[in-house]
Amino acid sequence: MTIFLYFLIYFLFPQISWTHQYLPIDRIPDWKLKNDGNIGPSYGQPEQIRISYGGDPSISFVTWQTFEDTLQSTVEYGSDWKSLNQSVLGRCSVFLDRNKNSVWRYIHRANLTGLVPGQTYYYHVGSEHGWSPIYFFTALKERENNGGGYIYAVYGDLGVENGRSLGTIQKMAQKGELDMVLHVGDFAYNMDESNGETGDEFLRQIEPISAYIPYMAAVGNHEYFHNFTHFVNRFTMPNSDHNLFYSYDLGHAHFLVFSTEFYFWTQWGFHQIKNQFDWLIEDLKKANENRKNVPWIITMGHRPMYCSDFDGDDCTKYESIIRTGLPLTHGYGLEKLFYEYGVDIELWAHEHSYERLWPVYNRTVYNGTHLPYTNPPAPVHIITGSAGCRENTDVFVEHPPPWSAVRSTDYGFGIMRIYNSTHLNFKQINVAQGGTEDDDFWVVKTSDKHHRPFKHRDLKKLRTYGTHVPEKYCHHHSHCPAEKKKKRSRRHHQHF
């Protein structure tokens, strides 16, 4: 099959596909048809190299891009950079984003298998028409120093412009201070802009991170274009052909990544919400069945259920859609689902700020004890969306609701370390203030029996020691209707 025929099929029979459409192995590129050894692809240099976790420490996915078909997609690798004595052939797909002047992008993917956890590998990618520089990565293995576990950089909302956290994360990744990146939605601002050139530039900018450690991604609202086509086609996540919802285990944690955007971009069909919700139920069931081996359950979704920002976003509403479900019907609400299956940590972004919440469920805040994060009776929510983009940071309301424990409007990103089955630490690094810490706290489960679905006794504990926040809750006397009425009355009397 020639590339020209592929082009005709793509545009004459358009369809939204959530699978990577690989080119036939026996294809003949246009330059090959000329049967002239002096002619090859004009743009065969690989770029935008990124690795991702393959769902097992022995597997890594490698993804890169060229601007012309190179026919071969090869990774050469080995334990010595002078001797890359192993190689694997990958597959290539064409990505046309349906912009008016779509650029032909060739996305190459290769799977490295049989990796030895803890072993450092050197590699480069490409073909006879161009090779990348030699990079290195270490196959994932729990750390042996300072308590063990894995260390994750956690953030969302990182753009091509004003990416204030980028340099710090690049340095940490290359120095071995991070094991993985969890990017909780919103990339580049936006990947589809300038016929996709903004997405190309973003992936070049993160290459000093993503070529060294796995870069794991969740979709955000800035990826909306043509049903998230840039996100689907540019990334490679485990156990999924589309990257929009997937899960994986690493060490003591089960990570569950999902799309909050299905609830807002409904022009692509409500079936997307249902399909994901059904998948969430099945995945959470399996995760709980395996909880003795993998106790922590951590979710990643872009738009939060709760927040204290002064912007009118969904998370500021009494019945936020992500929390309670679709308007009127309350279908497919996520808060109850995550509570019933005992999710421990919920990672969010979207708000261009940092906010740590007290354990909370159904607007009841567990903040009335000395150790609220030790065996909490509800999930812990963390919002970290201030990595840096052209839209700058958000501000908070003057008097935040009771669920708000710690807040920062400075640029920064999170560092999460899961030490073992009982201890998880989270820090928020403030890059605007030279790397100081805006927050540093622990979530502790004193034994494995506390990793389980929340039960009636947890609700009782929550209600006994917590604070319920009804719709008309008075966060501050200045917000109270009665107080406002008194102020208006006083002004009225002063006027006369």
pLDDT over 70, % of the chain: 92
Asked if the model's pLDDT at residue 229 lies above 90, the reply is yes
Could you check whether 22-141 and 142-468 share the same CATH topology? no
More confident residue, 260 or 492: 260
Contact 301, 346 (CB under 8 A): yes
Asked if the model's pLDDT at residue 18 lies above 80, the reply is no
pLDDT digits 0-9 by tens, 435-490: 999 999 999 999 999 999 999 999 999 999 999 999 888 777 766 655 545 555 55
- Residue 20 has a pLDDT of 80
Spell out the domain ranges in the chain: 22-141, 142-468
Structure-token match 């973003």, residue found: 202
d(CA 23, CA 46): 17
Asked if the model's pLDDT at residue 352 lies above 60, the reply is yes
d(CA 425, CA 88): 38
Question: Cis ω on the peptide bond leading into residue 190 (within 30° of 0)?
Answer: yes
pLDDT digits 0-9 by tens, 298-311: 999 999 999 999 99
78-to-65, 107, 118, 262 alpha-carbon distances in Å: 22, 23, 14, 41
Fold for domain 22-141? Immunoglobulin-like (2.60.40)
The separation between CA 479 and the C-alpha centre of its own chain, rounded to angstroms, equals 35
Asked if the model's pLDDT at residue 35 lies above 60, the reply is yes
Contact 218, 257 (CB under 8 A): yes
3-state secondary structure of 390: coil
435-to-169, 170, 203, 410, 453 alpha-carbon distances in Å: 11, 14, 24, 11, 37
Q: Please calculate the CA angle 431-305-459 and round it to the nearest 5 degrees.
A: 115
What is the arithmetic mean of pLDDT over 157-170?
98
Contact 165, 412 (CB under 8 A): yes
Asked if the model's pLDDT at residue 104 lies above 80, the reply is yes
pLDDT digits 0-9 by tens, 374-385: 999 999 999 999
**In CATH, what is the architecture of 142-468?**
4-Layer Sandwich (3.60)
Asked if the model's pLDDT at residue 402 lies above 70, the reply is yes
Least confident of 46-55, 167-176, 476-485: 476-485
What is the arithmetic mean of pLDDT over 26-52?
93
- Residue 482 has a pLDDT of 57
Structure-token match 């690798």, residue found: 77
- Residue 123 has a pLDDT of 98
DSSP string, 331-368: TT-SHHHHHHTT--EEEE-SSSSEEEEPSEETTEE--S
d(CA 92, CA 62): 12
pLDDT over 90, % of the chain: 86
d(CA 396, CA 399): 8
Other C-beta atoms lying within 10 Å of the C-beta of residue 83: 10
- Residue 15 has a pLDDT of 42
